[in-house]
Amino acid sequence: MPRPWLRVGVVGAGRVGAVLGAALAAAGHRVVAVSAVSEASRERADALLPGVPVQPVEDVVAAGDLVLLAVPDDALADLVAGLGARGLWRPGQIAAHTSGRHGLAPFAPAADRGVLPLALHPAMTFTGTSLDLARLTECCFGITAPDPVRAVAEALVVEMGGEPVWVPEEARTLYHAALAHGSNHLVTLVAQAREILAAAGIEDGERLLRPLLQASLDGSLASGDGALTGPVSRGDVGTLAAHLDALEPLAEDLRPAYVAHATATAHRAARTRRLRPDQADAVLAALGEAGTPPSPLSSPAVPPPTPDEKDHR
């Protein structure tokens, strides 16, 4: 017996919407309409959803059994409410959004009309090209759905090549904060590191940083705080002071960012007992923060590296 397919309407041919629409089409569903306002969105729709008519949002919603809302977080609730006020939602229709922050709350006006709401957030950065389709096979989706349609959300994710990860409604904001902190701030951190290297006269920063950052990423994912290296974890106050002096004349965002990250690192190193309290106090003083860090956890102490274990990062 052939698997049933859905008529899919994609609201927003941005980097995410166009790619997920293409993934649903590849899974056997029929993308029947897409909305695209900017020239870039229209070009993206033409490349990833060839032959799919570009239509106004209200027509896209009317055409779909599954309506995929790939719009900015702050626009989602007003969009759903506006469509409801115009009587465009219909009972039994599936509505899914791709927001990381939101769960089901923005769908309240549609759910009152019998719409089946789903939150399907792909935990991945998108280029908005066909390259993203292959990357979906390694992508987790943070899903939130009412219990009766949880299986529908999971099936759609699996059909797109992803792995569903359940996120409770009340945890959506924390879930999204974790991803934004880890991904978005990583981009800033790497860009700043390259800028500092350029100030040191090293132009090929990517070549120098790639193996170091990859090792750090792999180590932190495998061992958490146990992968920590560097001057904070060693209590090298003199090195930290020298770093701060060297960063002083550079762009105004660099030194404060270094201090903020080093301070957070010192607190974590104290909490996991990689730093003794006196070492942590000295590090925090060098960074300009007074006071004692939080008390270490009751977990087994992690001894500081011995001289022959000292890393050079």
User: What CATH number has the domain bearing residue 70?
Assistant: 3.40.50.720
Same domain, 142 and 268: no
Same domain, 159 and 190: no
Is 47 among the domain residues?
A: yes
Same domain, 278 and 140: no
Residue type, 291: G
Same domain, 119 and 53: yes
287 alpha carbon, distance to own chain's centre = 29
Q: What is the pLDDT of residue 156?
A: 97
161: alpha, beta or left? (left if phi > 0; alpha if psi -120 to 50): left
Is 274 among the domain residues?
A: yes
Q: What is the model's pTM?
A: 0.86
Same domain, 139 and 220: no
70, 98 contact by CB (below 8 A): yes
What does the pLDDT profile of the chain (313 residues) look like in tens digits? 345 799 999 999 999 999 999 999 999 999 999 999 999 999 999 999 999 999 999 999 999 999 999 999 999 999 999 999 999 999 999 999 999 999 999 999 999 899 999 999 999 999 999 999 999 998 999 999 999 999 999 999 999 999 999 999 999 999 999 999 999 999 999 999 999 999 999 989 999 999 999 999 999 999 999 999 999 999 999 999 999 999 999 999 999 999 999 999 999 999 999 999 999 999 999 999 643 444 443 333 444 443 333 444 4
Is 1 among the domain residues?
A: no
Same domain, 34 and 155: yes
When divided into structural domains, the chain yields a total of 2
Same domain, 53 and 123: yes
Provide the 10 A C-beta neighbour count for residue 34. Answer: 30
Domain that holds residue 69: 7-167
Domain end residue (candidates: 167, 195, 219): 167
